[in-house]
Amino acid sequence: MSRNHYIRIANITDVEQLCEIGAKTFVETYGNQNTPENLQAYLDEKFNEKQISDELTTPNTIFLLVEQENEIIGYAKLRVNLVENPDQKALEIERIYITKQYHGQKLGALLMQGCIDTALENNYTSLWLGVWEHNPKAIAFYQKWGFEVFGTHIFQLGDDAQTDFLMQKKLRES
Protein backbone atom coordinates (compact mmCIF):
# COMPACT_ATOMS: atom_id res chain seq x y z
CA MET A 1 0.00 0.00 0.00
CA SER A 2 1.28 3.40 -0.90
CA ARG A 3 1.86 5.75 2.01
CA ASN A 4 -0.29 8.40 0.33
CA HIS A 5 -3.51 6.46 1.07
CA TYR A 6 -5.22 7.58 4.23
CA ILE A 7 -8.57 7.43 5.95
CA ARG A 8 -10.63 10.36 7.09
CA ILE A 9 -14.22 10.98 8.12
CA ALA A 10 -16.41 12.40 5.35
CA ASN A 11 -18.15 15.74 5.57
CA ILE A 12 -20.84 17.49 3.53
CA THR A 13 -18.31 18.77 0.97
CA ASP A 14 -17.69 15.14 -0.08
CA VAL A 15 -21.24 14.51 -1.34
CA GLU A 16 -20.52 14.72 -5.06
CA GLN A 17 -17.49 12.42 -4.87
CA LEU A 18 -19.40 9.96 -2.64
CA CYS A 19 -22.20 9.78 -5.22
CA GLU A 20 -19.69 9.12 -7.99
CA ILE A 21 -17.61 6.52 -6.15
CA GLY A 22 -20.68 4.76 -4.77
CA ALA A 23 -22.32 4.42 -8.17
CA LYS A 24 -19.05 3.48 -9.88
CA THR A 25 -18.11 0.74 -7.43
CA PHE A 26 -21.66 -0.64 -7.31
CA VAL A 27 -21.72 -0.98 -11.11
CA GLU A 28 -18.20 -2.48 -11.15
CA THR A 29 -19.23 -5.10 -8.60
CA TYR A 30 -22.82 -5.93 -9.56
CA GLY A 31 -23.38 -4.51 -13.05
CA ASN A 32 -22.89 -7.74 -14.99
CA GLN A 33 -25.11 -9.75 -12.61
CA ASN A 34 -28.24 -7.58 -12.71
CA THR A 35 -30.52 -6.08 -15.33
CA PRO A 36 -29.69 -2.54 -16.45
CA GLU A 37 -33.15 -1.40 -15.29
CA ASN A 38 -32.76 -2.78 -11.75
CA LEU A 39 -29.23 -1.45 -11.52
CA GLN A 40 -30.30 2.03 -12.65
CA ALA A 41 -33.27 2.08 -10.26
CA TYR A 42 -30.93 1.34 -7.35
CA LEU A 43 -28.32 3.90 -8.46
CA ASP A 44 -30.98 6.59 -8.86
CA GLU A 45 -32.37 5.89 -5.39
CA LYS A 46 -29.14 5.45 -3.40
CA PHE A 47 -26.46 7.58 -5.06
CA ASN A 48 -28.07 10.95 -5.68
CA GLU A 49 -26.86 14.09 -3.90
CA LYS A 50 -29.94 14.51 -1.71
CA GLN A 51 -29.78 10.90 -0.49
CA ILE A 52 -26.05 11.02 0.28
CA SER A 53 -26.40 14.44 1.96
CA ASP A 54 -29.20 13.06 4.14
CA GLU A 55 -27.08 10.02 5.04
CA LEU A 56 -24.07 12.19 5.91
CA THR A 57 -26.13 14.27 8.32
CA THR A 58 -28.01 11.37 9.94
CA PRO A 59 -27.04 10.87 13.61
CA ASN A 60 -25.07 7.68 14.33
CA THR A 61 -23.87 7.44 10.71
CA ILE A 62 -20.19 7.72 9.81
CA PHE A 63 -18.52 7.61 6.40
CA LEU A 64 -14.85 6.64 6.41
CA LEU A 65 -13.06 7.65 3.20
CA VAL A 66 -9.90 6.25 1.65
CA GLU A 67 -8.19 8.98 -0.33
CA GLN A 68 -5.28 9.23 -2.66
CA GLU A 69 -4.12 12.69 -3.68
CA ASN A 70 -7.46 14.28 -2.62
CA GLU A 71 -9.49 11.76 -4.64
CA ILE A 72 -11.85 9.38 -2.86
CA ILE A 73 -11.03 5.84 -4.04
CA GLY A 74 -13.10 3.95 -1.50
CA TYR A 75 -15.32 4.31 1.52
CA ALA A 76 -17.19 2.57 4.30
CA LYS A 77 -20.55 3.65 5.63
CA LEU A 78 -21.20 2.77 9.26
CA ARG A 79 -24.53 3.24 10.98
CA VAL A 80 -26.69 2.21 13.86
CA ASN A 81 -29.54 0.15 12.37
CA LEU A 82 -32.02 -0.76 15.08
CA VAL A 83 -34.59 -1.99 12.56
CA GLU A 84 -32.61 -5.00 11.36
CA ASN A 85 -30.49 -5.46 14.48
CA PRO A 86 -32.06 -4.13 17.70
CA ASP A 87 -28.77 -4.48 19.60
CA GLN A 88 -27.84 -0.90 20.42
CA LYS A 89 -24.24 -1.99 20.96
CA ALA A 90 -23.91 -3.19 17.34
CA LEU A 91 -22.73 -1.02 14.45
CA GLU A 92 -23.60 -1.93 10.87
CA ILE A 93 -21.15 -1.69 8.00
CA GLU A 94 -23.73 -0.78 5.37
CA ARG A 95 -21.20 -0.28 2.57
CA ILE A 96 -17.53 -0.96 2.12
CA TYR A 97 -16.41 -0.06 -1.39
CA ILE A 98 -13.02 0.23 -3.08
CA THR A 99 -12.74 1.27 -6.74
CA LYS A 100 -11.82 -1.76 -8.86
CA GLN A 101 -8.53 -0.28 -10.10
CA TYR A 102 -7.32 -0.21 -6.47
CA HIS A 103 -8.28 -3.80 -5.61
CA GLY A 104 -5.36 -5.91 -4.39
CA GLN A 105 -3.65 -3.00 -2.61
CA LYS A 106 -4.92 -3.89 0.91
CA LEU A 107 -7.22 -0.86 0.97
CA GLY A 108 -10.19 -3.05 1.93
CA ALA A 109 -8.15 -4.16 4.94
CA LEU A 110 -7.32 -0.54 5.73
CA LEU A 111 -11.02 0.36 5.63
CA MET A 112 -12.05 -2.69 7.68
CA GLN A 113 -9.52 -1.84 10.36
CA GLY A 114 -10.88 1.71 10.33
CA CYS A 115 -14.40 0.31 10.86
CA ILE A 116 -13.22 -1.84 13.77
CA ASP A 117 -11.31 1.05 15.34
CA THR A 118 -14.31 3.39 14.95
CA ALA A 119 -16.65 0.84 16.54
CA LEU A 120 -14.31 0.26 19.48
CA GLU A 121 -13.67 3.99 20.00
CA ASN A 122 -17.45 4.50 20.19
CA ASN A 123 -18.00 1.59 22.62
CA TYR A 124 -19.78 -0.78 20.24
CA THR A 125 -19.45 -4.47 21.08
CA SER A 126 -19.92 -5.84 17.55
CA LEU A 127 -19.97 -5.05 13.87
CA TRP A 128 -22.43 -6.58 11.43
CA LEU A 129 -23.22 -6.37 7.74
CA GLY A 130 -25.25 -7.82 4.90
CA VAL A 131 -23.46 -9.39 1.93
CA TRP A 132 -25.05 -10.79 -1.22
CA GLU A 133 -25.11 -14.58 -1.17
CA HIS A 134 -23.61 -14.57 -4.72
CA ASN A 135 -20.52 -12.53 -3.76
CA PRO A 136 -18.03 -15.21 -2.63
CA LYS A 137 -15.05 -12.84 -2.75
CA ALA A 138 -16.66 -10.46 -0.24
CA ILE A 139 -17.90 -13.32 1.95
CA ALA A 140 -14.37 -14.75 2.12
CA PHE A 141 -12.98 -11.30 2.98
CA TYR A 142 -15.43 -10.89 5.87
CA GLN A 143 -14.78 -14.43 7.14
CA LYS A 144 -11.04 -13.68 7.13
CA TRP A 145 -11.83 -10.76 9.47
CA GLY A 146 -13.79 -13.02 11.82
CA PHE A 147 -17.35 -12.33 10.66
CA GLU A 148 -19.80 -15.22 10.96
CA VAL A 149 -23.21 -15.70 9.33
CA PHE A 150 -26.10 -15.23 11.77
CA GLY A 151 -29.06 -14.91 9.39
CA THR A 152 -30.34 -13.56 6.08
CA HIS A 153 -32.41 -10.66 4.82
CA ILE A 154 -33.81 -9.43 1.52
CA PHE A 155 -31.92 -6.75 -0.39
CA GLN A 156 -34.23 -5.09 -2.90
CA LEU A 157 -32.53 -4.16 -6.18
CA GLY A 158 -35.19 -2.63 -8.39
CA ASP A 159 -37.80 -5.35 -8.77
CA ASP A 160 -35.36 -8.15 -7.81
CA ALA A 161 -35.51 -9.40 -4.21
CA GLN A 162 -32.01 -10.76 -3.50
CA THR A 163 -30.82 -12.66 -0.43
CA ASP A 164 -28.02 -11.25 1.70
CA PHE A 165 -26.21 -13.18 4.38
CA LEU A 166 -26.09 -11.25 7.66
CA MET A 167 -22.64 -11.55 9.22
CA GLN A 168 -21.39 -10.37 12.60
CA LYS A 169 -18.06 -9.93 14.35
CA LYS A 170 -17.90 -9.66 18.13
CA LEU A 171 -15.46 -6.99 19.23
CA ARG A 172 -15.86 -7.31 23.00
CA GLU A 173 -18.33 -8.68 25.50
CA SER A 174 -21.32 -6.43 26.16
Catalytic site residues? Answer: 142
Say if strands 90-98 and 126-132 run parallel, antiparallel, or are unpaired.
parallel
Map residue 95 onto helix, strand or coil: strand
DSSP letters, 103-157, are: TTSSHHHHHHHHHHHHHHHTT-SEEEEEEETT-HHHHHHHHHTT-EEEEEEEEEE
In this structure, the chain runs to a length of: 174
Q: Give me the torsion for CA of 111, 116, 120, 122, rounded to 10°.
A: 50
